[in-house]
Structure 1
Amino acid sequence: MATENPSRIAILGAGRMGRGIATSFALAGIESLLIDLRPRSDGDFARLRETAMAEIGDSVRFLAEAGLLDAAGVDNVLSRVAVVPVAQAPAAIGSCDVIFEGVPETLEAKASAFAVVCEAASPEAIIASTTSTIGADELAAMVTRPERFMNAHWLNPAHLVPLVEVSPATVTDQRQVDVLCDLLKGIGKVPVVCRSSPGYIVPRIQALAMNEAARMVEEGVASAEDIDTAVRVGFGFRFAILGLLEFIDWGGGDILHYASAHLSKNLDEHRFAAPDVIGRNMAEGRNGLRDGKGFYDYADTNVAAYRARRLGEFLAMLQHRQLMPSIKP
């Protein structure tokens, strides 16, 4: 099998994430086998298949309503998805080039799924867990060919959110990471690679942000509605254009240093303390754009053109969201 150009993808587990991943590949023209690993009666499996295909159908028809597909396109996409019962799982797994595991987040469930996979999969197949909580190294120990294993964390709704966080185990072959990333790029996803670490990138950042938002409601700082408005049209709006570290460089790392010191003193010493890298960057004159270096190196960057490009993207989003400020000539 040519993993670099797969003709068929397996997804173990027919839940919400599995359905979203199956939809993503089917939309890109790749056959997707949504494999149910739970023993069920014929009637129960028929109901599961009906529910799964109905949800996938709704997702695809929503895209058609948005003008991205016609009726024939909807039928074509849905024809590329099959829900497979556990009795047919070994044959289905063996026919696939890439296998995503999406069973419940328990070690027992993962171990059981990988036992089936390792027995049936082709030696050339890539195996990727979609776990959001368990490290790649821990799961790699459950796989007979760990050099072909990694985590691939999708964000819901998986068929729409571009990001996939790829987290290889210590023993993962870098060539396999490259192959999976190329596959994801080929279906329109944006993979990023991160070390096996709790929370990956997005869940770790968003856990802090969500807890702080809930804490502000608890403290009576603002209403839930006003906090969410602030996030939608302020916090989140800016970070859709500038990444968090890019934003530090844009404004200056020293600003974050002093703001963190103030919040630490007046709110919580540990929760708002800046990491050591912020202080080190200040001491080394790496405050960002104005110094020509920060988290990024701007030595060869036309800063004026870079600022204009980012601000142009910002204006385009303001116009798209109908949030442009009043401008009177």
Structure 2
Amino acid sequence: MTLEGRTVAVIGSGYMGGGIAQVLALAGAEVRIADVDADTTRANLDRLVAEARAFAAEDLFPAHAPDTIAGRVHAAESFEAAVEGADFVEEAVPEKIGIKHEVLRRVSAAAAPDTVIGSNTSTILIGRIAEAVARPERFLGVHFSNPAPFIPGVEVIAHAGTDPAILPGVEELVRAVGKQPARISDADGFVLNRLQYALFSEASQLVDEGVASAEDVDTIVRTTFGFRLPFFGPFAIADMAGLDVYRFCFESLQGRWPERFATPRALAEHVENGRLGTKSGGGFLDVPAERVPELVAYRNKAYARMAQLIDELGPAPLGKEGDR
């Protein structure tokens, strides 16, 4: 699917909104961007084209990207001008509820009644933002991650009043720009940030307790369980490890932190019912026994290729030149 013939508005043309505009244009859409004033919008458009030129030179974007983005992304004079005739609007203004409400009042009043409006919020409940939207049934969260051109996952978040009929179309649009949508309920932190900040909290406690330095915690995360995460989520990893093993590990941690590491109810139920993961034919995910050898072969190939890629790229330039 491409977005040829579609007109999309992106409200807020900073690094998040600008990146979203780039991928929309590369997928075939005519994109209008708008920011706090026309001069800011035009300056940001120039930046997006310059970025595309740099990305193309590094083979991160296709060679045609600078010309395509220059031809398909247009600087609108105002929010209202940007959304006129658009069939989808993505709001990407700063994470302050007052700013979002002010902008979305204007945008939803000016847009056609059936225009779907998404918010790129990463933390604010969609239902709360929807209070300022005319016809809130056509409003939802469409949360890209930074940097938007390169991170594939997008949270699609309906609030209690969202019309469910709009969800498949939004998911199609997300797939058309080369991203992977995941349908999420409207809850504090959604999924991405609830997990991300839970990990950061535990990592910070390890450093505070003197268990390891920040550098060594980062090394453990990226070279052990983090090494698996590009290919498998936490439930697939648990199933392959064995849910009985996971329960044992939770019980071990409970000796020191009985509440913090209480055994999850679903894990205990799976083990009690003999659903131990891939070794028993099912756990959180159902993997038929005949497909387990194929899964193991994929896992091994994936990890080997990841190691090769990391060797090819070299270490991230996080320290001093002499430390690398």
User: Quick check: TM above 0.5?
Assistant: yes
User: What is the aligned counterpart of 2:73 among 74, 81, 91?
Assistant: 81
Shift of 1:150: 0.8
Distance 1:301 1:138 in 2: 47
Name the counterpart of 1:314. 303
Unmatched runs of 5 consecutive residues or more in structure 2: 313-324
Distance 2:139 2:281 in 1: 40
TM-score (norm 2): 0.88
Shift of 1:300: 6.5
Aligned residues of 1:26 and 1:78 also touching (Cα < 8 A): no
The 5 Å alignment of 1:76-225 reads 76-86=68-78, 89-225=79-215
Q: What is the identity, as a one-letter code, of the residue corresponding to 2:23?
A: S
- Residue by residue over 1:128-168, the C-alpha shift from the partner in whole angstroms, topping out at 9 and shown as x without a partner, is 11111122222333322222211011110011111110011
Distance 1:90 1:282 in 2: 56
Distance 1:280 1:236 in 2: 26
Name the counterpart of 1:290. 279
Name the counterpart of 2:27. 28
TM-score (norm 1): 0.87
Distance 2:31 2:272 in 1: 53
Q: Identity across aligned pairs (percent)? A: 33
Q: What is the identity, as a one-letter code, of the residue corresponding to 1:28?
A: A
Aligned residues of 1:5 and 1:183 also touching (Cα < 8 A): no
Distance 1:47 1:11 in 2: 14
Please, what is the CA RMSD of the aligned residues? 2.2
Distance 1:5 1:271 in 2: 50
Aligned residues: 310
Q: What is the identity, as a one-letter code, of the residue corresponding to 1:128?
A: G
Change (3 A) 1:73 1:12: closer
Distance 1:216 1:139 in 2: 36
Distance 1:195 1:100 in 2: 19
Name the counterpart of 2:315. none
Query: What secondary structure does 1:181 align onto?
Result: helix
1:16 aligns with 2:21: no
Q: What is the identity, as a one-letter code, of the residue corresponding to 1:46?
A: D
Distance 1:203 1:174 in 2: 24
Aligned residues of 1:6 and 1:97 also touching (Cα < 8 A): no
- Residue by residue over 1:287-322, the C-alpha shift from the partner in whole angstroms, topping out at 9 and shown as x without a partner, is 111111110112475211222122222222222223
Distance 2:99 2:40 in 1: 22
Query: What secondary structure does 1:321 align onto?
Result: helix
